[in-house]
Amino acid sequence: MHELILGGARSGKSRLAEKLADDSGLAVTYIATSEALDAEMSARIQQHRQRRPAHWGLLEEPLELARVLREQAAADKCLLVDCLTLWLSNLLMLDDPARLEAECAALLECLPGLPGRILLVSNETGLGVVPLGELSRRYVDQAGWLHQALAERCQRVIFTVAGLPMLLKGEPL
Protein backbone atom coordinates (compact mmCIF):
# COMPACT_ATOMS: atom_id res chain seq x y z
CA MET A 1 0.00 0.00 0.00
CA HIS A 2 1.19 3.50 -0.81
CA GLU A 3 0.10 6.27 1.53
CA LEU A 4 0.42 10.06 1.47
CA ILE A 5 0.31 11.73 4.89
CA LEU A 6 -0.14 15.50 4.76
CA GLY A 7 -0.32 18.13 7.46
CA GLY A 8 1.04 21.45 8.59
CA ALA A 9 4.11 22.03 10.72
CA ARG A 10 3.92 20.10 14.00
CA SER A 11 0.58 18.56 12.99
CA GLY A 12 1.58 15.02 13.97
CA LYS A 13 2.10 13.71 10.43
CA SER A 14 5.58 12.29 11.08
CA ARG A 15 4.50 10.70 14.35
CA LEU A 16 1.52 9.08 12.59
CA ALA A 17 3.74 7.78 9.77
CA GLU A 18 6.18 6.35 12.31
CA LYS A 19 3.36 4.60 14.16
CA LEU A 20 1.97 3.14 10.92
CA ALA A 21 5.44 1.93 9.95
CA ASP A 22 6.07 0.40 13.37
CA ASP A 23 2.64 -1.27 13.42
CA SER A 24 3.14 -2.70 9.92
CA GLY A 25 5.18 -5.66 11.15
CA LEU A 26 7.55 -5.12 8.21
CA ALA A 27 11.21 -4.22 8.17
CA VAL A 28 11.29 -0.41 8.12
CA THR A 29 13.70 1.87 6.30
CA TYR A 30 13.42 5.57 7.06
CA ILE A 31 14.38 7.74 4.08
CA ALA A 32 15.34 11.20 5.28
CA THR A 33 15.40 14.02 2.75
CA SER A 34 16.59 16.85 4.98
CA GLU A 35 20.11 18.12 5.37
CA ALA A 36 21.50 19.59 8.57
CA LEU A 37 22.32 22.99 7.09
CA ASP A 38 22.01 24.88 10.39
CA ALA A 39 21.66 24.30 14.14
CA GLU A 40 17.86 24.46 14.10
CA MET A 41 17.58 21.78 11.42
CA SER A 42 20.19 19.67 13.23
CA ALA A 43 18.00 19.81 16.35
CA ARG A 44 14.91 18.75 14.36
CA ILE A 45 16.81 15.84 12.85
CA GLN A 46 17.99 14.77 16.30
CA GLN A 47 14.40 14.82 17.62
CA HIS A 48 13.31 12.54 14.78
CA ARG A 49 16.25 10.17 15.40
CA GLN A 50 15.44 9.87 19.09
CA ARG A 51 11.82 8.97 18.32
CA ARG A 52 12.62 6.21 15.83
CA PRO A 53 13.29 2.61 16.87
CA ALA A 54 17.00 1.76 16.74
CA HIS A 55 16.41 -1.30 14.55
CA TRP A 56 15.00 0.72 11.65
CA GLY A 57 17.23 1.27 8.66
CA LEU A 58 18.13 4.82 7.67
CA LEU A 59 19.00 6.30 4.29
CA GLU A 60 19.63 9.98 3.76
CA GLU A 61 18.84 11.17 0.25
CA PRO A 62 18.17 14.87 -0.41
CA LEU A 63 17.68 14.67 -4.21
CA GLU A 64 17.39 11.26 -5.91
CA LEU A 65 14.32 9.96 -4.13
CA ALA A 66 12.94 7.84 -6.98
CA ARG A 67 16.25 6.02 -7.37
CA VAL A 68 16.39 5.17 -3.66
CA LEU A 69 12.76 4.03 -3.62
CA ARG A 70 13.35 1.74 -6.61
CA GLU A 71 16.48 0.29 -4.97
CA GLN A 72 14.90 -0.23 -1.53
CA ALA A 73 11.26 -1.19 -2.14
CA ALA A 74 10.39 -4.84 -1.48
CA ALA A 75 7.24 -6.77 -0.65
CA ASP A 76 8.45 -7.37 2.91
CA LYS A 77 9.55 -3.78 3.60
CA CYS A 78 8.02 -0.50 4.69
CA LEU A 79 9.71 2.64 3.39
CA LEU A 80 8.94 5.86 5.23
CA VAL A 81 9.91 9.05 3.37
CA ASP A 82 10.08 12.17 5.54
CA CYS A 83 9.55 14.58 3.98
CA LEU A 84 8.61 15.41 0.42
CA THR A 85 8.50 19.17 0.88
CA LEU A 86 12.09 19.24 2.17
CA TRP A 87 13.05 17.12 -0.86
CA LEU A 88 11.21 19.60 -3.10
CA SER A 89 13.01 22.52 -1.39
CA ASN A 90 16.37 20.84 -1.99
CA LEU A 91 15.54 20.54 -5.69
CA LEU A 92 14.26 24.11 -5.94
CA MET A 93 17.45 25.43 -4.36
CA LEU A 94 19.50 23.81 -7.15
CA ASP A 95 17.86 26.40 -9.45
CA ASP A 96 17.71 23.80 -12.23
CA PRO A 97 14.11 23.53 -13.47
CA ALA A 98 14.95 20.55 -15.68
CA ARG A 99 16.34 18.60 -12.72
CA LEU A 100 13.29 19.46 -10.61
CA GLU A 101 10.95 18.31 -13.36
CA ALA A 102 12.95 15.12 -13.98
CA GLU A 103 13.09 14.10 -10.30
CA CYS A 104 9.36 14.77 -9.76
CA ALA A 105 8.49 12.85 -12.93
CA ALA A 106 10.71 9.95 -11.85
CA LEU A 107 8.95 9.78 -8.47
CA LEU A 108 5.48 9.84 -10.01
CA GLU A 109 6.47 7.27 -12.62
CA CYS A 110 8.07 4.77 -10.24
CA LEU A 111 5.57 4.92 -7.38
CA PRO A 112 2.74 2.78 -8.86
CA GLY A 113 5.10 -0.13 -9.52
CA LEU A 114 6.85 -0.19 -6.14
CA PRO A 115 6.22 -3.27 -3.98
CA GLY A 116 5.72 -3.14 -0.22
CA ARG A 117 4.38 -0.37 1.94
CA ILE A 118 5.39 3.20 1.13
CA LEU A 119 4.60 6.06 3.53
CA LEU A 120 5.15 9.54 2.09
CA VAL A 121 5.10 12.45 4.54
CA SER A 122 4.69 16.01 3.29
CA ASN A 123 3.78 19.49 4.52
CA GLU A 124 0.52 20.89 3.23
CA THR A 125 1.50 24.43 2.27
CA GLY A 126 -1.54 25.57 0.33
CA LEU A 127 -3.81 26.57 3.20
CA GLY A 128 -2.40 30.01 3.88
CA VAL A 129 -2.06 33.26 2.01
CA VAL A 130 -0.26 33.37 -1.33
CA PRO A 131 3.42 34.11 -0.54
CA LEU A 132 4.90 37.41 -1.67
CA GLY A 133 8.21 36.10 -3.02
CA GLU A 134 8.63 34.34 -6.38
CA LEU A 135 10.59 31.40 -4.92
CA SER A 136 8.01 30.90 -2.18
CA ARG A 137 5.18 30.93 -4.72
CA ARG A 138 7.03 28.38 -6.87
CA TYR A 139 7.51 26.19 -3.79
CA VAL A 140 3.81 26.29 -2.87
CA ASP A 141 2.78 25.66 -6.49
CA GLN A 142 5.20 22.75 -6.92
CA ALA A 143 4.14 21.19 -3.60
CA GLY A 144 0.46 21.51 -4.50
CA TRP A 145 0.93 19.92 -7.93
CA LEU A 146 3.07 17.14 -6.47
CA HIS A 147 0.51 16.39 -3.73
CA GLN A 148 -2.34 16.22 -6.25
CA ALA A 149 -0.42 13.82 -8.47
CA LEU A 150 0.66 11.65 -5.53
CA ALA A 151 -2.87 11.57 -4.11
CA GLU A 152 -4.06 10.09 -7.42
CA ARG A 153 -1.43 7.35 -7.19
CA CYS A 154 -1.69 6.49 -3.48
CA GLN A 155 -4.24 4.06 -2.08
CA ARG A 156 -4.63 6.09 1.11
CA VAL A 157 -4.32 9.82 1.78
CA ILE A 158 -4.44 11.22 5.31
CA PHE A 159 -4.46 14.83 6.49
CA THR A 160 -3.33 15.45 10.07
CA VAL A 161 -4.36 18.34 12.29
CA ALA A 162 -3.44 18.65 15.99
CA GLY A 163 -2.24 15.06 15.97
CA LEU A 164 -5.54 13.78 14.64
CA PRO A 165 -5.66 11.93 11.32
CA MET A 166 -8.45 12.74 8.89
CA LEU A 167 -8.93 10.19 6.13
CA LEU A 168 -9.22 11.77 2.69
CA LYS A 169 -8.97 8.62 0.59
CA GLY A 170 -8.79 4.88 1.14
CA GLU A 171 -9.25 2.43 3.99
CA PRO A 172 -9.85 3.77 7.52
CA LEU A 173 -6.95 3.57 9.96
| Residues annotated as part of the active site | 48
CA distance 121 to 10: 12
d(CA 97, CA 81): 23
User: What's the CA gap between 164 and 39, in Å, rounded?
Assistant: 29
Alpha carbon distances (Å) from 129 to 31, 98, 133, 137: 30, 28, 12, 10
What are the C-alpha distances in Å from 111 to residues 24, 37, 125, 129, 155? Answer: 19, 29, 22, 31, 11
- The identity of residue 131, as a single letter, is P
- How far CA 44 is from CA of 14, 40, 41, in Å, comes to 12, 6, 5
